[in-house]
Amino acid sequence: MSPSFKCFHLFIIFYFPIIIIISAATTIVSSTEFSSLSTNFLDSANTPEVFDWIVNIRRKIHQNPELGYQEFHTSELIRAELDKLGISYKHPAAETGVIGYIGTGNAPFVALRADMDALALQEMVEWEHKSKVPGKMHACGHDAHVAMLLGAAKILKQNENLIQGTIVLVFQPAEEEGGGAKKIVESGALENVTAIFGLHVASEFPIGEVASRKDLVYASSGFFEATISGKGGHAAIPQHSIDPILAASKVIISLQHLVSREADPLDSQVVTVARLQGGNAFNVIPDTVTIGGTFRAFSKHGYMQLRQRIEQVIVGQANVHRCNATVDFFDEDPATINNGELHKHFLDVAANLLGPEKLREMPPSMGAEDFAYYQEVMPGYFFVLGMQNASHERLETEHSPYYKVNEDALPYGAALHASLAVTYIQKLQQDKQVVEANYDDNDEL
């Protein structure tokens, strides 16, 4: 081997890996600069063209609210807008859901989710775009969620050349009841997705601020319904009857003892009876009474213990009062637990877009989110977007007939959706480049 060739060989062995690493580092630096596009996304969302378009979509959906798995018009509107944007999609997913695709069509796949369903609630807000459907209202901001995700889709489509993978748009039915997220997962529509992000508008935080946390965000939750059967009769001669109303009242009081006397005070739990139906006359003892409600717990052990004891208490108390009882459980959602790595990514993106002073850490909540079903099969991250404006009237919390959405918050949600997805895809591509560079380096040696 000639001296010159030997020197070249040594150069390749010792310095070529360094060149590869430097090259990869250069890519990372340029991608860090690329994150400044988040600001451009927000600027785009705030242009009259995009902002007015997002607001108009939100108002159309708000005027025509639909309950879970009945979101036919909402789904049609979404598909019509995706068609106009030239975005491909699959429909139906979980009956009324829509799954859209932006990017190369190849891995990595990162998903963004918006829920579509309304609530069985009569709107009491008087404004031009009030619900046209009696007894139904978007009182939880899902109309805003759909509008923001479509806004993100519009921005992403305009910048599709920057997407080094595929962004999956998940328009999900039946978040309030019916486990729409679970059905989306079971459909296989997200099999290749690496991570998923979701958000919820929040009236308790100022506009332009976001709040979240890593690990536990929302509790495990479930609903129960019990039928307590006795023997009906004349209210004036109760000795000839078996009163299920008295039994139901004892059941309700006893259920409250499960939290106050059986639960660990450090393991937060809730049992609420929210429905009581029985009888329709002042002088008739009914045959049956139906009660229903919800129960929540942070720990899986606490949740399962609560579930077991709810049934035991209802059946036991009914028997004490000579009644029979049956108990059904349904719509049980796991706890919402944010992935730690996605939490870091969210903080970076949100700080870059909004400023670090706009980030809040939210305490765990006894609320529930079926977004948890996505997190059971892939890394997922859920956060809330503030919309309270101190100079305006105080906004009501979710599930109120007086609930309002501050539409000035919509551009923030659209830009955050777009930024989280694009930058996360690029992060995955960067990590892949570094791994491949190190692998080639070792292979060469």
* pTM score above 0.85: yes
Residue 157 lies in a domain: yes
Flag whether 2 is in a domain.
Answer: no
Same domain, 184 and 258: no
Q: How many CA atoms lie within 13 A of 185 on its CB side?
A: 16
Q: Is the same domain home to 199 and 309? A: no
Q: Which amino acid is at 159?
A: N
Do 280 and 399 lie in one domain? The reply is no
Last residue of a domain, one of 315, 333, 351: 333
CATH number of the domain to which 281 belongs: 3.30.70.360
What was the pLDDT predicted at 435? 64
Q: Residue 16 pLDDT more than 60? A: no
Do 70 and 210 have their domain in common?
yes
CATH label of the domain that carries residue 84: 3.40.630.10
Q: Is residue 31 part of a domain?
A: no
Domain presence at residue 6: no
The domain tally of the chain equals: 2
Give the pLDDT score at 437.
61
Half-sphere exposure of residue 89: CA atoms within 13 angstroms, side-chain side = 25
Backbone angles phi, psi at 382, to 5 degrees: -125, 135
**Torsion, Cα of 282, 284, 286, 292 (10° steps):** 10
Q: Mean pLDDT check: name the lowest of 37-46, 157-166, 264-273, 434-443.
A: 434-443
The answer to whether the CB of 183 falls within 8 A of the CB of 94 is yes
How would residue 442 be classed by pLDDT, with cut points 50, 70 and 90? Answer: low
Structural domain including 367 reads 51-218+360-417
What residue type is assigned to position 329 of the chain? F
- Tell me the pLDDT tens digit for each residue of 331-385: 899 999 999 999 999 999 999 999 999 999 999 999 999 999 999 999 999 999 9
* Tens digit of each residue's pLDDT (9 = 90 or more) over 23-71: 333 334 344 554 577 889 999 999 999 999 999 999 999 999 999 999 9
Of 283, 318, 333, the last residue of a domain is: 333
Give domain status of residue 230, yes or no: yes
User: What pLDDT, on the 0 to 100 scale, is given for residue 441?
Assistant: 53
Query: Is 41 part of any domain?
Result: no
Q: Give yes or no: residues 304 and 374 share one domain.
A: no
Same domain, 228 and 309: yes
What confidence score (pLDDT) does residue 431 get?
A: 83
Q: Are residues 205 and 76 part of one domain?
A: yes
Rounded-to-10 torsion of CA 437, 439, 442, 445: -70
Pairing of strands 359-361, 210-212: parallel
On whether both 131 and 160 belong to a single domain, the answer is yes
**99, 167 contact by CB (below 8 A):** no
Q: Are residues 75 and 118 in the same domain?
A: yes
Same-domain check for residues 62 and 180: yes
The answer to whether residue 16 is domain-embedded is no
Residue recorded with tokens 């902002």: 51
Question: Which of 314, 333, 352 lies at the terminal end of a domain, its last residue?
Answer: 333
Q: pLDDT tens across 137-175, in order? A: 999 999 999 999 999 999 999 999 999 999 999 999 999
Please give, one letter per residue, the 3-state secondary structure of the chain.
Answer: CCHHHHHHHHHHHHHHHHHHHHHHHHHHHHHHHHCCHHHHHHHHHCCHHHHHHHHHHHHHHHHCCCCCCCCHHHHHHHHHHHHHHCCEEEEEECCCEEEEEEECCCCCEEEEEEECCCECCCCCCCCCCCCCCCCCECCCCHHHHHHHHHHHHHHHHHCHHHCCCEEEEEEECCCCCCCHHHHHHHHCCCCCEEEEEEEEEEEEEECCCEEECCEEEECEEEEEEEEEECECEECCCHHHCECHHHHHHHHHHHHHHHHHHHCCCCCCEEEEEEEEECCCCCCEECCEEEEEEEEEECCHHHHHHHHHHHHHHHHHHHHHCCCEEEEEEEEEECCEEECHHHHHHHHHHHHHHHCHHHEEECCCECCCCCCHHHHCCCCEEEEEEEEECCCCCCCCCCCCCCCCCCHHHHHHHHHHHHHHHHHHHHHHHHHHHHHHHHHHHHHHC
Statement to judge: residues 77 and 200 lie in one domain: yes
> Is residue 312 included in any domain, yes or no?
yes
**Whether 58 contacts 151, CB under 8 Å:** no
Mean pLDDT along residues 230-242: 98
Same domain, 72 and 182: yes
